[in-house]
Structure 1
Amino acid sequence: MTFNPLEQRGIPLDRQLRNWRELNVEPIDPDHADPYTRCRIITMNGIEVEAILFSHQMARHCPDPEIKRQLAHVRYIEAQRQKAVNWLLPGVSSVLETTIAYEQVAVDLTAWVARTEPDPYLKQAYQFGVLEDFDHLYRYADLYEMIEHRKAESIVDRLTEVMPGRPTPMHHRHPVDNVRDPYDRTRTDPLSKLHALTIMSAEQQTMNFYMYVGPTYMEPIARQLCQEIGLIEEEHVTHYESLVDPGETLWEQLVNHECYLYHSFVEQESDPRVKALWELHLNMELEHLHIACELMRRHDGREPQEVLAPELPNVLTFEPNKQYLRELIAEQLDLTTLGAGYVREAHERFERMQQEIHGGEPAPSDRVLQRQHDEVGREYRVETEGEHPVPRLRERV
């Protein structure tokens, strides 16, 4: 079904404020909810957080007090939405269970975007990143079984396989090799802009999550693993944010922040109660889009139709990506980055970074696997029956 948000009117801004009772959402049941409902919640929280942070940065660079007031009004509503969305997550879930859910989001969200991205260079960027998130999920699953004596299968529900990707210790690259070439805003498909903003927002959320929750673990090995992967998530944010054309004006970016994900999740949500929240928020977003469009006309001198697609593209879908990921593992496991491109051989800058960051000692992500071997006698796996197993990993020498 086609959907042009520019032709839709939402809830007027002065009717969007909610009281405490309306914000007091009931969390999902972690034992019975669709895992992809939880994935949609985590994703949408990341989108709302990005919208809030972007609005704050825009306000800090804006000399016009009237625009600041307009941004502040919209931003408060976005902050209410973010609270309603994030508070859908159940408090009974442990930090590590939520961490595994975050990595399931990263895997299946990035894999879907990679599959549907029309630009080959951008597609490669998402393919490269998803193999690293895939390995993060695997390392946390081993930690979960080791510490909480439960299996990640209870969280991902076999929708996402849990097995090795590109080895986590190999993710530590020199910072200059995490910067990609940006798309050309005058030529790129509007879908590519939405993809870049979506994955950047999701990875930024994960980076921030590890910044805050890492020290809350009691077990030393958990603290160390979260610290290591948190550093890699900073690399990922650099990787994805550099794809965005820096020539885009703030007004152009503002209109691109609206509507796509809420529209997508309304179309596919299986939980009626959560779907109702997506519908409410979409109708709020439609009005925010019209406000952003008017600001763009007034201060950028352009019509939004010059930068937006005539209708929203096919909805972003959470679904299993097992075979696609297995193919990427078979074809791209040994890639690293050099400048803005990708190479299969280790190079001097990469090897120097590896030596300096690891210092000749095993990384926390490898110590997790070793301890799992010592205590349980095996590594953790969730593989789908009836499919061919992936090749064993070959560590780069």
Structure 2
Amino acid sequence: MRKHYDKNTASPQTKVNILTLVSAEQQTHNFYKAHGLMYANPTLRKLYAEIGDVEEEHVSMYESLMEPTETIFEKLLLHEFTEVCNYYTCMQQETNEHFKKIWEEFLSYEIDHLHSAAKLLQKHENKDAEEVIGNTIIEPNKFLSQKDYIAKILREQSDLRLTDGKDIGYTKKRRTS
């Protein structure tokens, strides 16, 4: 497991990035688990089940990056803030006016949810939302082509393996000849 962020010193950007990553992995896991059994081919069903298991491991690994001592109200606030940030990013990057209005509508719903979460945090913990999420919208991602980046990573890192023990890091895969 990796070291989790410190809720008192981590930037809102770090928190939003991790929550966005966890939610994407959770969606991928849910897809494979929900749809894997729909296929008639038994090999494909087994493959989807295995991929679903791997995705579940990814979810657990990325969730371990989150601060375990965050309160339920801090977690709720971060969840809603992450949704606001992601919808905002989608709205900002959308070029089709019809779809942009849809993103804008959903963003307004999420802003309402964020306000509700902030009120709960204030009511139950006497804590201002800015202490947890700052006062700026975070743009966690850009929806651009990543083909060049992925090709570069595959060239440079395909033979790296995660190491165990205290010295968490990566090592080159041993070549067998």
Q: CA deviation at 1:224?
A: 2.3
Residue type matched to 2:169 in 1?
Answer: Y
Q: CA deviation at 1:334?
A: 2.0
Aligned equivalents of 1:285, 1:194: Cα separation in 2: 15
Tell me whether 1:324 sits opposite 2:149 in the alignment: yes
Residue type matched to 1:254 in 2?
Answer: L
SS at match of 1:344: strand
Aligned equivalents of 2:161, 2:48: Cα separation in 1: 22
Residue type matched to 1:280 in 2?
Answer: E
SS at match of 2:169: strand
Give the corresponding residue for 2:169. Answer: 342
Q: CA deviation at 1:198?
A: 0.5
Give matches, 1:203-218, under 5 Å.
203-218=25-40
TM-score normalised according to structure 1 size: 0.41
Q: CA deviation at 1:317?
A: 1.2
TM-score normalised according to structure 2 size: 0.87
Q: Contact 1:334–1:396 (CA<8 Å) still a contact in 2? A: no
Task: Pick from 99, 103, 107 the counterpart of residue 282 of structure 1.
Answer: 107
Residue deviations 1:305-326 (CA, integer Å, cap 9, x gap): 1111221134621111222222
Q: CA deviation at 1:292?
A: 0.7
Q: Contact 2:22–2:59 (CA<8 Å) still a contact in 1? A: yes
SS at match of 2:133: coil
Task: Pick from 119, 123, 126 the counterpart of residue 294 of structure 1.
Answer: 119
Give the corresponding residue for 2:66. Answer: 244
Give the corresponding residue for 2:53. Answer: 231
Give the corresponding residue for 1:73. Answer: none
Change (3 A) 1:220 1:196: same
Q: CA deviation at 1:396?
A: 5.7
Q: CA deviation at 1:327?
A: 2.4
Aligned equivalents of 1:252, 1:339: Cα separation in 2: 31
Residue deviations 1:91-150 (CA, integer Å, cap 9, x gap): xxxxxxxxxxxxxxxxxxxxxxxxxxxxxxxxxxxxxxxxxxxxxxxxxxxxxxxxxxxx
| Root mean square deviation, CA, Å | 1.9
SS at match of 1:257: helix
Q: CA deviation at 1:294?
A: 0.8
Aligned equivalents of 1:195, 1:226: Cα separation in 2: 27
Q: Contact 1:335–1:342 (CA<8 Å) still a contact in 2? A: no
Q: CA deviation at 1:240?
A: 0.7
Tell me whether 1:194 sits opposite 2:16 in the alignment: yes
Q: Contact 2:86–2:139 (CA<8 Å) still a contact in 1? A: no
Count of paired positions:
171
Aligned identity (percent) is 38
Give matches, 1:89-238, under 5 Å.
179-238=1-60
Residue type matched to 1:264 in 2?
Answer: T
Aligned equivalents of 1:343, 1:286: Cα separation in 2: 40
SS at match of 1:292: helix
Q: Which has the higher contact order (CA 8 A, sep 6+)?
A: 1
Task: Pick from 158, 166, 169 the counterpart of residue 333 of structure 1.
Answer: 158
Give the corresponding residue for 1:85. Answer: none
Change (3 A) 1:205 1:293: same
Aligned equivalents of 1:194, 1:232: Cα separation in 2: 23
Q: CA deviation at 1:339?
A: 4.4
Aligned equivalents of 2:97, 2:67: Cα separation in 1: 38
Tell me whether 1:265 sits opposite 2:84 in the alignment: no
Aligned equivalents of 1:330, 1:345: Cα separation in 2: 13
Aligned equivalents of 1:233, 1:396: Cα separation in 2: 27
